[in-house]
Amino acid sequence: MKLITTLSGYPELQEIDAIWSGYDEPLAAKGAELAANAASSLKIEADAGPEAFQPYLDAVGLILLHLPVFTDGRPYSLAAMLRQHYRYAGEIRVFGDVRREQLDHLHRCGITSFVLNQDEDAASALGQIGYFSKWYQPNISA
Amino acid sequence: MYQYNEDDRLFLQQRCEQFRDQTTRFLAGTLPAEEFQQLRLRNGLYIQRLAPMLRIAIPYGLVSAGQLRALAGITRDFDKGYAHFTTRQNIQLNWPKLEAMPDLLSRLAEVDMHAIQTSGSCIRNITSDQFAGVAADEVADPRPWAELLRQWSTLHPEFNWLPRKFKIALTGAASDRAAIAVHDIGLRLQSDADGLYFEVWVGGGLGRTPLIGVCINPHLEPKHLITYLTAILRVYNQFGRRDNKYKARIKILVKAMGKIDFEAAVNAAWQALKDGPETIPEGSIEPLQSHFSRPNYLTLNPAPSSRTIATDQPFERWRAQNVLPHQQPGYAAVHISLKRKGIAPGDVSDRDLEALADLAERYSFGEARVTHEQNIVLADVEQTKLPELFQALGQHNLDRANRGLATDMICCPGGDYCSLANAKSIPVAAAIEETFQDPEAERLLGPLTINISGCMNACGHHHVANIGILGVDKKGQEFYQLSVGGEPGDQARIGRILGPSVARAEIQWVVQRLTQCYQQHRDDAETFNQTLDRVGIETFKSAAYEGLTS
Ligand code: SF4
């Protein structure tokens, strides 16, 4: 799997073997909030409501957002809400049907790393983040 | 009008290059078709019945003489020398070639124009009152706010993949010429002792489920405009239906949640944004306002207004029908009809576009406006130059005196061009036109709206017409469903279906019988809808179907 991460301040390409790479396998069971820590990850589906993530936010280090199909706009708003509403400061990683044309937008909504759809050409995807020199909206990731 | 700066131009240039790369990859087979489809839609390109169709944005209807001239050149070099004005202040080309699209978009960018977000499930072209800044009934000029929203909505990273298309309209006048009640978001700029504020309407729309919007915030301080709209869009993006495209518009969500719950959800989302970085800082709208400052009007005396109209004089008739009052003494706003005999409603040739550019330059400070009724307005004409302008318009077949009358029909491209159509609409407009041969009879009939859509999508706004005509498919045959009693504007309401649909050959006679029925029953100066409401739909129905067997 190809991962693009912007955590160092600029986009970098990494090869990973699991979408939660760098963290523990996503928490699943109810009540797991007690066990959550900085190495924990949490998987959120596109239709998730706040109850699916709110109890964990203070502890987990990685939130995995699912983009079921590239035309689905919900993860963009979820990411923006996690940053603006819930003040989540950890890593947000998107996985699923993640294509190069989406990266810049996803990034500006507060997403910091991207597991690419396997058909995407990783090298050209890398150049997409920061493609535009001018935006009309503030950058939530910044 | 708004003048692009270096950043705006660089942005547009990069967008063009991005699309060029996408098109090249698609043509080389390395960008999947289903993905390219979404990307090209967001650059205004549809694949239509016969060829691609490009929809170019004219933000809130404002266009310069230079832009009109560039459009004329583009229709010649990339198309067949004509174009079509739509009901959403856009202009469409019907025959561009996909391979030529990147060059075409670059040509547009040279005159600060684009086709960004004129289609696809995203925020569409922002529309407004065609008389903004000059209307005698204006509370405040909506254009700086419209430009602010244009910028904010352009490639908004969070809202590029909405459940469905999203249309925003705003007005700053006492009477609503922007149809805010039938938009996803409608904004009305008002003022009270504390200054300006917005009334925010949500969930209106036409199409399959026509609905009048609801007001979810009667008093929004302008500084909160962006954060509040972001909250609305965020709620919609998360909870709008994505499983059924016919139920995906925000109006369905508002209806399903109910006004109270929807309003509460928006307020909850707003709390995280309110007073945040996107709050409009004090003093920051003024620079935008300066782009829309009043032109250098001369100090003139107003022409005497209260004189009898000699309706046998073509100029007087045109003046009475097509010339509108202006804020500035001695000036008038002139309505130019694009509803001409033998030409599809809203269509213009390259020569027409050039003529309009010349006239805008000569008589109206080099600017023109596009209306959602598919006409053109020259907003700042000296009253003493009206006879001269009328003559010049006549030389280009642009002098028809039918503003707001029966032949000023709104009509979508329909089955002649549009791949979604059930039936043709342009020939229907032409057939109805045939029944109004005598301009004096049409004038005596008075204000009347007849709108035609080729399918449920209602691009022709048939629901809000006094007489609405909708193309339907009846076992492979083109039929038309009629509705009556719709109303655009302030008192917006949806028309009621009259009865069974009728065949193409009958439609013009049915419309004629409806107008005759109105004339026969009306009291004094009653409008069509007033008469309809008083005598009842049954009277109109039996008149309409008289002698029809099907
Ligand atoms: S109303 Fe239907 S036929 Fe007419 S332009 Fe819209 S989609 Fe096409």
CB B504 within 8 A of CB B542: no
Number of independent structural domains in chain A:
1
Predicted pLDDT at B526: 96
Q: Does A35 fall in a domain?
A: yes
Residue of B nearest to A75 (CA): B238
Number of independent structural domains in chain B:
4
Predicted pLDDT at A75: 97
Are residues B278 and B327 located together in one domain of the fold? no
* More confident: A49 or B22: B22
Residues of A in contact with B238 (CB under 8 A): 74, 77-78
SS3 content of chain A, % helix, strand, coil (to 5): 25, 20, 55
Predicted pLDDT at A74: 98
Are residues B232 and B271 located together in one domain of the fold? yes
Pick from B41, B455, B470, B473 the residue to mutate for probing ligand 1's pocket: most ligand atoms within 8 Å of its CB: B455
Are residues B516 and B418 located together in one domain of the fold? yes
Q: What is the CATH number of the domain that holds A12?
A: 3.40.50
Q: Is pLDDT above 80 for A31?
A: no
Predicted pLDDT at B550: 52
Which helix (H) or strand (E) element contains residue B521? Answer: helix B504-521
**Nearest Cβ partner for A109 among B151, B154, B157:** B157
Q: Does B303 fall in a domain?
A: no
Cα(B533) to centroid of ligand 1, in Å?
29
Q: Does B142 fall in a domain?
A: yes
Instruction: State the residue range of the domain holding A35.
Output: 2-128
Q: What is the CATH number of the domain that holds B197?
A: 3.30.413.10
Q: Does A142 fall in a domain?
A: no
Are residues B284 and B138 located together in one domain of the fold? yes
- How far is B105 from B35, CA to CA, in rounded Å? 20
DSSP B358-415: HHHHHHSTTEEEE-TTS-EEEEEEEGGGHHHHHHHHHHTT-----TTSTT--EE--GG
Residue B70, CA distances (Å) to A29, B25, B75 in order: 62, 28, 9
**Tokens 């239906």 sit at which residue?**
B241
Q: Does A33 fall in a domain?
A: yes
Are residues B422 and B460 located together in one domain of the fold? yes
Q: Does B401 fall in a domain?
A: no
Are residues B328 and B201 located together in one domain of the fold? no
CB A65 within 8 A of CB A110: no
Q: Does B193 fall in a domain?
A: yes
**Tokens 């609405």 sit at which residue?**
B468
B269–A85 CB contact, under 8 Å:
yes
Are residues B97 and B230 located together in one domain of the fold? no
Instruction: State the residue range of the domain holding B254.
Output: 134-288
* Boundary (domain end) residue, out of B368, B394, B420: B394
Predicted pLDDT at B310: 63
Are residues B258 and B378 located together in one domain of the fold? no
- Cα B246–B249–B253 angle (5° rounding)? 105
Atom number in ligand 1 closest to CA B417: 8
Are residues B144 and B247 located together in one domain of the fold? yes
Mutation site for A-interface testing, chosen from B9, B13, B158, B267 by largest number of A Cβ within 10 Å: B158
Residues of A in contact with B237 (CB under 8 A): 73-74, 76-77
The answer for residues whose C-beta is within 8 angstroms of residue B324's C-beta and 6 or more apart is B131, B136, B332, B333, B334, B335
Stretches in chain B below the pLDDT threshold 50: 306
Confidence of residue A30 (pLDDT cuts 50, 70, 90): low
User: How close A137 gets to chain B, by Cα (Å)?
Assistant: 6
The per-residue pLDDT for range B212-263, each reduced to its tens digit, is: 999 999 999 999 999 999 999 999 999 999 999 999 999 999 999 999 999 9
Closest CA to B154 of B51, B99, B71, B226: B226
Pick from B46, B164, B420, B478 the residue to mutate for probing ligand 1's pocket: most ligand atoms within 8 Å of its CB: B420
DSSP B200-235: EEES-B-TTS-B--EEEEEEE-GGGHHHHHHHHHHH
Q: Does A136 fall in a domain?
A: no
Q: Does B11 fall in a domain?
A: yes
Q: Does A54 fall in a domain?
A: yes
Q: Does A81 fall in a domain?
A: yes
Residue B412, CA distances (Å) to A87, B120, B346, B347, B427 in order: 47, 18, 9, 11, 11
Are residues B458 and B380 located together in one domain of the fold? no
Confidence of residue A37 (pLDDT cuts 50, 70, 90): confident
